Amino acid sequence: MSPKPNLPVIRTARFALVALAVSVLAACAPAPVKTPPPALQAPEAPPPEPAKPAGPKVVEPTAAELSQFRACMAGLRAPAKAAEVTDAAFDQYAMTVSPDMGVLPLLDRQPEFTTALWDYLAALVDSRRIAQGKERMATYAPLLAQVQVRTGVDPATVVAVWGVESDYGQNFGQRPLLQSLGTLACFGRRQAFFRSELFEVLKIAQRGDVRAEDLKGSWAGAFGHTQFMPSTYNRIAVDFDGDGRRDLVGSIPDALGSTANYLVKSGWRTGQPWGYEVTLPTGFNAALAGRTNRRVLSQWQAMGVARVDGGTIDLPADTRSAVLLPTGINGPAFLVFKNYDAIYSYNAAESYALAIALLSNALRGQPGLRTPWPTDDPGLGRDERVELQRLLSARGHDIGAIDGVLGSASRDAIRKEQARLGMAPDGRAGQKLLKALRAGD
């Protein structure tokens, strides 16, 4: 089970960064490959939007919509009660909500910009996230050691999930959950799903696990340090600090303990690595790659699959494993084990799982990939995106806030500069453009 709704459109749109929304479908390798395809343009889940001081602007309903909403909510009282939401809680938390019609277009939003995997990883596994993750590992070392003792999940993995999910608690999302889920429960095409999530979040409020005013998250309902959906919250969250409440917003011990618990429930194997970057034998059949094309470790080793750093793989010969070629036969290759699947289950996206896996390696102090991604124009980290925006702004482009988020205004400015420099005006921010602007070209 995933903490997020298992729908690409919802998973993708829990982030406001439309410009980084993407498609899993764009396969590029010529070799016939089973699932998942070695996609050049793979990532399903763009990096979270940076924290903003104020939440998104609410779109008020018309009088008719408000009337429809009131009737709908009144009709949900009985099914909510059947789902163990008390009348008192329903009156207090649900009947006082007004809809935000602004969340409805997000249900059907199509990505306007396709992000290459290396761009996605450049933003999610950047120097800032690595540095902050190491700080968190030091600050919370005693807690993380306790989490490891009680769950078997190591500190770097827990902190890597935290970093990718909410930027270490710096980005929870700003939309009031009761308002968003109430709206989606009464309008739009996924009402049954969102009603169920609305009832789950009402139970969280009813129990007093999280203060009602702290129930803010993505438009689709993921929230807190771990960005769990309410149903996942109720199923997986643990009261790690023992104060009697499962608070994944206000308690870092509860949040990190719950992240580890999620991985345990997803089959975590204590002490095993998620996987390794590997070299493949000449002529390796790319059709053998894919997370679900599993073989035992000894079979891969017999074919000549080996760690890129020459190290040994200290696991039983019958360990179930798979080869990943996320950008095809010419990019980095990975041999992954059960713990990669556990990480994958967190958001059911290959790009997302890879970001956590590679961030966890970096947090362990391990070197980055030996094999470059198949591009001559690598992507930008968030600080580099800020620098690029400053350079664009200095050239007179009106790009709005300089926040490292490349929205449509930044993309437009990038296209103009690319055209001026004789580059393909695709709106993509890469090292080549940054270097050219830095050099004053």
Give the binding site for Ca ion (CB under 5 A): 239, 241, 243, 245, 251, 254
- DSSP letter at 364? T
CB of 260 to Ca ion, least distance (A): 14
- Closer to Ca ion by Cβ: residue 55 or 208: 208
Closest CA to 161 of 218, 234, 249, 227: 227
CB of 237 to Ca ion, least distance (A): 9
Q: Report residue 324: phi and psi, to 5°.
A: -110, 135
CB of 377 to Ca ion, least distance (A): 46
- Closer to Ca ion by Cβ: residue 135 or 243: 243
Closest CA to 276 of 317, 320, 307: 307
- Closer to Ca ion by Cβ: residue 90 or 223: 223
- Closer to Ca ion by Cβ: residue 16 or 237: 237
Q: What is the DSSP string of 96-162?
A: T----GGGHHHHTPPPSS---HHHHHHHHT-HHHHHHHHHHHHHTHHHHHHHHHHH---HHHHHHHH
- Closer to Ca ion by Cβ: residue 122 or 255: 255
CB of 41 to Ca ion, least distance (A): 41
Look-up of token digits 């970093």: 163
What spatial distance separates the first Cα and last Cα of the chain, rounded to whole Å?
A: 50
333-336 and 275-279 beta bridge pairing: antiparallel
CB of 149 to Ca ion, least distance (A): 18
DSSP tally for the chain: helices H, then strands E:
18, 9
CB of 258 to Ca ion, least distance (A): 10
- Closer to Ca ion by Cβ: residue 239 or 412: 239
